[in-house]
Amino acid sequence: GIQVEQSPPDLILQEGANSTLRCNFSDSVNNLQWFHQNPWGQLINLFYIPSGTKQNGRLSATTVATERYSLLYISSSQTTDSGVYFCAVRFVSGSQGNLIFGKGTKLSVKP
Amino acid sequence: DSGVTQTPKHLITATGQRVTLRCSPRSGDLSVYWYQQSLDQGLQFLIQYYNGEERAKGNILERFSAQQFPDLHSELNLSSLELGDSALYFCASSIGGSGEAFFGQGTRLTVV
């Protein structure tokens, strides 16, 4: 069936370390977004990236649509990067517009 | 600030009661989506409206209903509340049925 899988489920880093989060999806997509859910529950848009590569400060993302995966890179991590990172996709063959979320990667950055 | 406004931020109510959650989308956005986030289920899609019409339905219980008004704001009505309905409810909006979606701050519902 239609799936969005994120790995790893949990990640603990020391401040200053780099990390790569992965999102695999099971079918063609016309939307892929990365979100950061902070400890207060807010879902913050990081990237809208159905294909290609984007960078925003210490964060960058790459989606290889033909191979059905996306990567989120976090460099020089800070304690404020802690939280849960979600990948969400809109499948071409799916319903009219809703995003389907992965289960997230819980990131803890230690000082 | 995403531009999507949800009220109230917190709500505590008793089992069996009915509540209404409100969402104002970003200016110019025609699509509104409702999601439920509970600890054991992750982020689940409930329902989508586009320009006042229901567009897609997810795992929305029959006790729940929603609508989008002519001014494009939306309301999610939850009735006969149960303990298991305690969750964070998000509203999101996008320009059309596709495109980048932006989420509100959520309404944290606690049913006691």
Per residue in A25-74, pLDDT tens?
999 988 999 999 998 899 999 999 999 999 999 999 999 999 999 999 99
Is B33–A97 a contact, with Cβ atoms under 8 angstroms apart? yes
User: Which among B107, B20, B42, B50 is positioned nearest to A3, based on CA atoms?
Assistant: B42
How high is the pLDDT of residue B84?
Answer: 94
Mean pLDDT of B62-81: 97
Reply yes or no on whether the pLDDT at B75 is more than 80: yes
Reply yes or no on whether the pLDDT at B32 is more than 70: yes
Reply yes or no on whether the pLDDT at A95 is more than 70: no
Contacts of A13 (CB under 8 A, 6+ apart): A19, A77, A107, A108, A109, A110
Reply yes or no on whether the pLDDT at B50 is more than 80: yes
Is B90–A43 a contact, with Cβ atoms under 8 angstroms apart? yes
Reply yes or no on whether the pLDDT at A96 is more than 80: no
Q: Is B99 on the interface with A (CB under 8 A)?
A: yes
Q: Is B95 on the interface with A (CB under 8 A)?
A: no
Instruction: Flag the least confident range among A21-30, A70-79, B2-11, B39-48.
Output: B39-48
Mean pLDDT of B32-40: 92
Q: Which of A54, A93, A98, A105 to mutate to test the interface with B (most CBs of B within 10 A)?
A: A98
